[in-house]
Amino acid sequence: MAGLTKDTPVPTEIKFHKQSRILDITFSDGKAFQYTCEFLRVHSPSAEVSGHSPDQAVLQTGKKMVNILKIEPVGHYAIQLYFSDGHNTGLYSWDLLYKYGLNQDKMWQKYLQRLEEVNASRESNASVHQTCQHD
C-alpha cells in the first residue's frame, strides 16, 4: 500500500475533539497520540508547506487557533485534513502520523525555535516586529 511500510502500526481508533482542537489516534501496537490542530497544520506534508526538500520548507505562522473542519479517509493508508484556514493539501499517511507521534515534542520545540529566530508568532493577528541591529 502506498504510504505504508509493512511494519507500520495502523490506527484502531481516530477521535477528533472539536472544542479542544485535539486529534486522538490509537494505533494497533497500543500506542496512542494526541495531536493539536496547530501541530498538524504547521507540519503539513503538503508541498506548499514542506517543500520538495527540507530547505524549501515554508515556516507557518499565525496558526494557533486553526481547527479541523473535516477529516476524509484516503484508501486504507491515510487521511486528508481540511483546516479552518482553507488548507487541505497533503495526505497524512499512517506511518507519517505514527512518526509524528513518536517525535512530536522534538518537532514542536524545533518549530517554536524557528518562530523565535525570525521573530514570528503563533497568533494570527500578532504583528511581527523586526528587531534592528546596530553595528
Ordered by where they begin, the domains of the chain are 11-117 (3.30.2020.30)
Q: Is the pTM of this model over 0.95?
A: no
Q: Take residue 35 and report the three cell numbers written for it.
A: 495531536
135 pLDDT higher than 70: no
Give me the DSSP letters along 22-43. Answer: EEEEEETTS-EEEEEHHHHHHT
Among 93-97, 123-127, 129-133, name the one with the lowest average pLDDT: 129-133
**Which pLDDT tens digit goes with each residue over 66-97?**
999 999 999 999 999 999 999 999 999 999 99
